């Protein structure tokens, strides 16, 4: 008996890319390109404005310019009637209102953004003043700057997806040269089978289990395999259910061949029972089709009876011309003299025939392992084999004593990354691997074991079992993330030591995707989206909420100002953080993952917070970790940041750290931390500012380049979350250097 890898090799050696076919590009999504696509024209085709503003001649600014017309995207330049100047005027001094995407008119070479002009005589006065210099080409996309004429846009072998289609569309390439998609015909075999979606059943709303004959079952395989074939990129043909009768089988297969199928996929009837006729039919024992069987059993579980053959019509062939294509096993047939109307006469290679086992799980697994790769090869994929990855077993799995097993499993990255410390296999090499969970009882009739299955674990033959925590290889059989929960693999951040605090501050904030505008300290905005934002809060155990306090003091909620005791709860902090960051553009589009980590502040607050911050950063791949408002002084939070350095956050300079620790010790000595919130208030306020600035600025931790964003830790001294966040983030990123420089040892 051959092994599964051998079986895949044999199938792929018999499947070849199909002939080229041209089709409109929008229809080519999912196909593989047979030849490269080059750009017939440059993009942009004209010098285009990047901004809404005024087209100018760079040599004229700074200065005040006359507005002589308008150029809007899609419209020709409209000149003001009064304008008598010409392009060649030595004394240019003119500007044209321009919108993003509009052609920059001849004689102009730069665009001044609307935000950078003033209107000395009011908006309609026909003049704009520009205070800054702009170089030629500023805010202008030159001809061909995105795509050059003749540039290779797509390569032969590229698979056309939505983005490739977009590229072709942008370049104005209307037609794609691809490989033809194979036609895959699917049939089920078995006297016991009834169609669950038969018209008669669909017509009656009250279909019940009783409408099945006592010895019948519903045909699952055909519908499943048709969908599998479509998903693999094939066109499909439904051959229906064939009775367990050799002539019926031969007839169905002949219909597929007649229709020009490239592959026939049957299920059932390939094992050893006296009604299992498919192998004999494929061998040609029943006329009309004949072929060569390459293999009829594979050493695997599930799916042992998997059969693979190549077939063609025998002498009575009327519609298929077979010619030598240089492939061994090709069969020459007669001419297509009386082919049915409209049927294309074409070169015909042999047809691939797959006899999948009848048990639905076996059919699904063998389709994924051999039929789908064959379809992809015919489509022109360079590497049509299933993708392989590694995973960590979530539980012990007993091995089959006789055959290697393809065990269905779902993947979970979060569990392996998040609570990694809680697993007993927490060694560094495995931290980025997903956790593989078995889908349960693996008997080949139990199709629910395919539910959500993303991979087939490649388990060796027994005896014994594979232990939880082992790294196993797995073949991907569908898009990962289908089991709900995580949609994307996540990779844990790696803590790296900074080279210098300066570098760290910049690296961390840029990793977090946040930049602050130095000319406006009130503005913090995102350069790109944060991956995830973790918020660590620590509501004090005995503290009353701000609204409770306000109620007690008989103050209406609406009048409630910032109170100096108590904390908002985790949900409030999270909500405020969201609002703030959304406004800053950090979390636009809602793709940031949010998590709240609450640390109870009973004792050892700072350490608990630091630990929580670290856990948050690690388990959520956070770009930003906020240690959220903790009361008026925020001392615990700042101390947590300090303590965090012990836990791996690089950060405060030793002297600052000592000062903070001293301050913290003094304010908490002998006191119940809960009854009297310690504060740095009253201490040297410059030092306090500096401490805060440093904490904000430097208490991040680094990044594993390119993979994750790293983390920024901020402690935010206020009970008004939103204010505090604004303050904290601003300070964190743009604290003036002189505030803290002298204090760094």
Residues contributing to the site for ligand AMP (CB under 6 A): 188, 190, 192-193, 217, 219-222, 267-271, 273, 276, 357-360
User: Where do we find the tokens 């993303």?
Assistant: 454
- Residue 360 CB, shortest distance to Mg ion, in Å, is 12
Q: Contact at 8 Å (CB) between 219 and 241? A: yes
Per-residue burial over 567-598, b = 16 or more CB atoms within 10 Å of its CB, e = otherwise: bbebebbbbbbbebbeebbbbeeeebbbbbbb
- Residue 242 CB, shortest distance to Mg ion, in Å, is 10
Does residue number 305 form part of the binding site for Mg ion (CB under 5 A)? no
How many CA atoms, within 13 angstroms, populate the side-chain half-sphere of residue 386? 26
Q: Which is nearer to ligand AMP, 274 or 554 (CB)?
A: 274
Residue 702 interacting entry, from Mg ion, ligand AMP, none, C-beta within 5 to 8 Å by type: none
Q: Which is nearer to ligand AMP, 220 or 642 (CB)?
A: 220
- Residue 442 CB, shortest distance to ligand AMP, in Å, is 15
CA 573-576-581 angle, to 5 degrees, is: 120
- Residue 444 CB, shortest distance to ligand AMP, in Å, is 8
| Residue 154 backbone dihedrals phi, psi, to 5 degrees | -135, 150
Residue 467 interacting entry, from Mg ion, ligand AMP, none, C-beta within 5 to 8 Å by type: none
Residue 204 backbone zone (phi > 0: left; psi -120 to 50: alpha; other: beta): beta
353 DSSP assignment = E
Q: Contact at 8 Å (CB) between 626 and 725? A: yes
| Residue 672 backbone dihedrals phi, psi, to 5 degrees | -85, 110
**Total residues at interface with Mg ion (CB under 5 A):** 4
545 DSSP assignment = P
Q: Which is nearer to ligand AMP, 192 or 569 (CB)?
A: 192
Residue 636 interacting entry, from Mg ion, ligand AMP, none, C-beta within 5 to 8 Å by type: none
Residue 192 interacting entry, from Mg ion, ligand AMP, none, C-beta within 5 to 8 Å by type: ligand AMP
Token pair for 310? 């190549």
458 CB neighbour count, 10 Å cutoff: 16
CA 671-674-677 angle, to 5 degrees, is: 80
Residue 360 interacting entry, from Mg ion, ligand AMP, none, C-beta within 5 to 8 Å by type: ligand AMP
CA 12-365-482 angle, to 5 degrees, is: 110
- Residue 400 CB, shortest distance to ligand AMP, in Å, is 18
- Residue 475 CB, shortest distance to ligand AMP, in Å, is 23
Does residue number 268 form part of the binding site for Mg ion (CB under 5 A)? yes
Does residue number 42 form part of the binding site for Mg ion (CB under 5 A)? no
CA distance 372 to 477: 9
463 CB neighbour count, 10 Å cutoff: 8
Does residue number 360 form part of the binding site for Mg ion (CB under 5 A)? no
Residue 357 interacting entry, from ligand AMP, Mg ion, none, C-beta within 5 to 8 Å by type: ligand AMP
- Residue 252 CB, shortest distance to ligand AMP, in Å, is 13
- Residue 216 CB, shortest distance to ligand AMP, in Å, is 9
Instruction: Please identify the residue of the shown chain whose CB is closest to the bound ligand AMP.
Output: 358
Q: Which is nearer to ligand AMP, 256 or 641 (CB)?
A: 256
Q: Which is nearer to ligand AMP, 221 or 719 (CB)?
A: 221
Q: Which is nearer to Mg ion, 191 or 414 (CB)?
A: 191
Does residue number 190 form part of the binding site for Mg ion (CB under 5 A)? yes
Strands (DSSP E) contained in 431-470 are 435-438, 455-459, 465-466
- Residue 267 CB, shortest distance to ligand AMP, in Å, is 5
- Residue 360 CB, shortest distance to ligand AMP, in Å, is 5
- Which range in 187-195, 319-327, 378-386, 518-526 contacts Mg ion by CB under 5 A? 187-195
Residue 417 interacting entry, from Mg ion, ligand AMP, none, C-beta within 5 to 8 Å by type: none
Q: Which is nearer to ligand AMP, 276 or 405 (CB)?
A: 276
Question: For residue 293, what are the contacts with CB-CB under 8 A and spacing of at least 6?
Answer: 279, 282, 283, 307, 308, 309
Residue 271 interacting entry, from ligand AMP, Mg ion, none, C-beta within 5 to 8 Å by type: ligand AMP
Measured CA to CA in angstroms, residue 443 lies from 449, 450, 452, 681 at distances of 8, 11, 16, 69
* 272 burial via Cβ count (<10 Å: 0-12, 13-18, 19+): exposed
- Residue 189 CB, shortest distance to ligand AMP, in Å, is 6
Residue 418 interacting entry, from Mg ion, ligand AMP, none, C-beta within 5 to 8 Å by type: none
CA 735-740-744 angle, to 5 degrees, is: 140
Question: CA Rg, the chain, in Å?
Answer: 35
Q: Applying CB under 5 A, which residues contact Mg ion?
A: 190, 268-269, 358
């Amino acid at each position: 008996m051959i092994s599964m890898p051998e079986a895949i090799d044999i199938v792929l050696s018999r499947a070849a890319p199909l002939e080229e076919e041209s089709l409109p590009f929008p229809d080519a999504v999912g196909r593989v390109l047979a030849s490269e696509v080059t750009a017939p024209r440059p993009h942009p085709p004209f010098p285009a404005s990047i901004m809404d503003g005024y087209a100018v001649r760079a040599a004229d600014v700074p200065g005040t310019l006359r507005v002589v017309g308008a150029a809007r995207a899609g419209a020709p330049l409209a000149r003001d009637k009064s304008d008598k100047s010409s392009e060649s005027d030595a004394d240019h001094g003119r500007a044209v209102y321009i919108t993003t995407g509009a052609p920059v008119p001849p004689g102009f070479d730069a665009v001044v953004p609307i935000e950078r002009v003033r209107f000395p005589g009011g908006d309609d006065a026909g003049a704009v003043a520009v205070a800054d210099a702009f170089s030629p080409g500023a805010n202008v996309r030159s001809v061909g700057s995105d795509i050059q004429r003749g540039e290779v846009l797509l390569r032969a072998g590229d698979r056309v997806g939505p983005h490739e289609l977009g590229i072709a569309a942008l370049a104005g390439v209307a037609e794609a040269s691809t490989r033809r998609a194979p036609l895959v015909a699917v049939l089920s075999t078995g006297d016991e089978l009834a169609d669950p979606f038969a018209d008669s059943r669909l017509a009656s709303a009250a279909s019940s289990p009783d409408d099945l004959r006592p010895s019948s079952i519903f045909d699952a395989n055909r519908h499943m395999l048709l969908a599998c074939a479509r998903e693999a990129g094939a066109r499909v043909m439904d051959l229906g259910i064939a009775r367990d009768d050799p002539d019926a089988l031969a007839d169905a297969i002949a219909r597929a061949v007649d229709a020009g199928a490239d592959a026939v996929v049957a299920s059932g009837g390939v094992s050893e029972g006296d009604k299992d006729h498919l192998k004999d039919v494929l061998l040609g024992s029943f006329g009309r089709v004949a072929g060569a069987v390459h293999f009829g059993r594979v050493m695997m579980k599930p799916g042992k009876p998997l059969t693979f053959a190549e077939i063609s019509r025998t002498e009575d062939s009327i519609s298929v011309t077979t010619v030598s294509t240089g492939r061994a096993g090709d069969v020459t047939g007669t001419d297509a003299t009386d082919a049915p109307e409209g049927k294309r006469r074409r070169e015909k290679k042999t047809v691939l025939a797959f006899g999948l086992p009848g048990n639905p799980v076996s059919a699904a697994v063998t389709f994924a392992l051999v039929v789908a790769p064959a379809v992809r090869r015919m489509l022109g994929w360079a590497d049509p084999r299933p993708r392989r990855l590694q995973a960590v077993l979530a539980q012990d799995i007993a091995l089959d004593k006789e055959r290697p097993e393809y065990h269905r499993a779902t993947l979970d990255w979060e569990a392996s990354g998040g609570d990694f410390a809680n697993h007993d296999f927490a060694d560094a090499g495995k931290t980025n691997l997903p956790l593989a969970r078995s889908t349960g009882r693996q008997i080949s009739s139990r199709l629910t074991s395919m539910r959500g299955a993303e991979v087939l674990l490649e388990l060796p033959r027994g005896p014994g079992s594979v232990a939880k925590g082992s790294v196993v290889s797995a073949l991907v059989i569908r898009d990962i993330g289908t089991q709900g929960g995580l949609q994307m693999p996540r990779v844990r951040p790696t803590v790296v030591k900074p080279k210098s605090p300066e570098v760290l501050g910049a690296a961390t904030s840029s990793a977090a995707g946040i930049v602050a505008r130095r000319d406006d300290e009130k503005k913090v905005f995102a350069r790109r989206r944060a991956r995830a934002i973790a918020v660590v809060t620590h509501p004090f155990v005995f503290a009353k909420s701000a609204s409770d306090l306000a109620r007690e003091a008989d103050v209406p909620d609406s009048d409630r100002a910032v109170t100096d005791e108590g904390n908002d709860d985790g949900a409030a902090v999270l909500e405020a953080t969201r609002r703030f960051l959304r406004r800053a553009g950090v979390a636009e589009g809602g793709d940031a993952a949010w998590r709240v980590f609450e640390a109870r502040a009973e004792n050892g607050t700072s350490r608990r917070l630091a630990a929580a911050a670290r856990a948050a950063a690690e388990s959520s791949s956070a770009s930003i970790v906020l240690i959220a408002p903790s009361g008026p002084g925020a001392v615990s939070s700042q101390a947590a940041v300090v303590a965090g350095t012990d836990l791996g956050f690089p950060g405060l300079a030793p002297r600052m750290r000592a000062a903070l620790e001293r301050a913290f010790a003094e304010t908490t000595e002998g006191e119940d931390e809960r009854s009297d919130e310690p504060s740095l208030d009253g201490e040297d306020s410059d030092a306090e500012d500096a401490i805060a600035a440093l904490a904000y600025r430097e208490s991040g931790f680094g990044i594993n380049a390119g993979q994750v964003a790293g983390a920024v830790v901020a402690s935010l001294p206020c009970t008004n979350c939103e204010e505090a966040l604004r303050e904290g983030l601003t300070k964190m990123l743009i604290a003036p250097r002189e505030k803290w420089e002298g204090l760094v040892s």
